[in-house]
Amino acid sequence: MDYLPKCEANYTPLTPMTFLKRAAMAYANRTSVIHESTFFTWSETYRRCRCLASSLISLKIAKNNVVSVLAPNIPAMYEMHFAVPMAGAVLNTINTRLDAKNVATILRHSEAKIFFVDYQFVPVAREALGILMAESVRIPAVVVIDDINTPTGLRLGALEYEQLINKGDSNFVPLEIEDEWDPIALNYTSGTTSEPKGVVYSHRGAYLSTLSLILGWEMGTEAVYLWSLPMFHCNGWTFTWGVAARGGTNVCIRNTTAYDMYRNIALHKVTHMCCAPIVFNILLDAKPEERSELTSPVQILTGGAPPPASLLQKIEQLGFQVTHAYGLTEATGPALVCEWQARWNRLPIEDQAKIKARQGLSVLTLSDVDVKDADTMASVPRDGKTIGEIVLKGSSIMKGYLKDEEATAKAFKNGWFFTGDVGVIHPDGYLEIKDRSKDVIISGGENISSVELENVLYKHPRVLEAAVVAMPHPLYGESPCAFIAVKKNQTSGKTDDVSEGEIVAYCRKNLPSFMVPKKVEFMAQLPKTSTNKIQKFQLRALAETFIISDEKNTSRQPRQQLRNPPLSRL
Cβ within 8 Å of residue 47, ≥6 positions away: 170
- Confirm whether 224 is domain-assigned: yes
Which of 331, 365, 399 terminates a domain? The answer is 365
**Is 386 a domain residue?**
no
Q: Assess whether 84 and 225 both reside in one domain.
A: yes
Query: Are 113 and 225 members of one domain?
Result: yes
**Assigned domain for 471 exists:** yes
Predicted local distance difference test score (pLDDT) of residue 531: 44
487 alpha carbon, distance to own chain's centre: 37
Supply the CATH number for residue 508's domain.
3.30.300.30
Is 370 among the domain residues?
no
Q: Are residues 237 and 321 in the same domain?
A: yes
Contacts of residue 137, defined as CB under 8 A and 6 or more positions apart, other chains included, come to 108
514 three-class SS: helix
Structural domain ending residue among the three candidates 299, 331, 365: 365
The pLDDT of residue 560 is 35
Task: Note whether 378 and 348 are within 8 A (CB).
Answer: no
Same domain, 454 and 320: no
Residue 352 sits in the same domain as residue 485:
no
294 exposure class (CB count in 10 Å sphere: 0-12, 13-18, 19+): middle
Residue 325 shares a structural domain with residue 454 = no
Q: How many CA atoms lie within 13 A of 35 on its CB side?
A: 17
Check if the beta carbon of residue 490 is closer than 8 Å to that of residue 461.
no
CATH number of the domain within which 148 lies: 3.40.50.12780
Give CA–CA dist 550/129, Å, rounded. 36
What pLDDT was estimated at residue 358?
84
> Measured in whole angstroms, how far is the alpha carbon of residue 322 from the centre of its chain?
18
HSE of 426, CA atoms in CB hemisphere, 13 A: 13
What pLDDT is stored for residue 104 in this prediction?
95
Domain membership of residue 264 (yes or no) is: yes
What's the DSSP call for residue 332? T
Phi, psi of 338 (to 5 degrees): -80, 80
Residues 326 and 457 in one domain: no
How far lies 343's CA from each of 322, 346, 460, in Å?
A: 17, 6, 55
Q: How many domains does the chain have?
A: 2
Q: Which helix (H) or strand (E) holds 519?
A: strand 519-522
- The reply to whether 379 falls in a domain is no
On whether both 320 and 191 belong to a single domain, the answer is yes
- Same-domain check for residues 336 and 222: yes
d(CA 560, CA 102): 37
DSSP bridge pairs for 465: 485
Q: Are residues 347 and 450 in the same domain?
A: no
355 shares its domain with 471 = no
Which one-letter DSSP state was computed for residue 515? G
Q: In which domain, by residue range, is 241 found?
A: 16-365
**Of 303, 338, 365, at which residue does a domain stop?**
365
- Of how many residues is the chain composed? 570
Q: Whole-angstrom Cα distance, residue 416 to residue 394?
A: 9
CB-count exposure of residue 13 (10 Å: 0-12, 13-18, 19+): middle
**Cα distance between residue 41 and residue 28, in whole Å:** 6
Residues 246 and 135 in one domain: yes
Burial class (CB in 10 A: 0-12, 13-18, 19+), 457: buried
| Per-residue tens of pLDDT for the chain, all 570 residues | 666 777 777 788 999 999 999 999 999 999 999 999 999 999 999 999 999 999 999 999 999 999 999 999 999 999 999 999 999 999 999 999 899 999 999 999 999 999 999 999 999 999 999 999 999 999 999 999 986 444 444 455 558 999 999 999 999 999 999 999 999 999 998 643 346 799 999 999 999 999 999 999 999 999 999 999 999 999 999 999 999 999 999 999 999 999 999 999 999 999 999 998 888 889 998 999 999 989 999 999 998 766 667 778 889 899 999 998 998 899 998 999 999 899 999 999 888 878 887 889 999 989 999 999 988 999 999 999 888 899 999 999 999 999 999 999 999 999 999 998 888 999 999 998 876 666 778 888 787 878 778 878 988 989 888 999 999 988 888 899 999 999 888 777 777 788 999 999 999 999 998 899 999 999 998 987 544 568 888 898 999 888 775 544 433 333 333 333 322 223
Long-range own/partner contacts, residues 555-558 (CB < 8 A, 24 or more apart): 556/521
- 200 part of a folded domain: yes
Instruction: Tell me what pLDDT residue 8 has.
Output: 73
Predicted confidence at residue 431, as pLDDT, reads 93
Residue 130 lies in a domain: yes
The sheet carrying 183-188 orders its strands as: 141-145, 114-118, 66-70, 90-93, 183-188, 198-202, 400-401
Specify the DSSP element, H or E, that contains 337: strand 333-337
19: left (phi over 0), alpha (psi -120 to 50) or beta: alpha
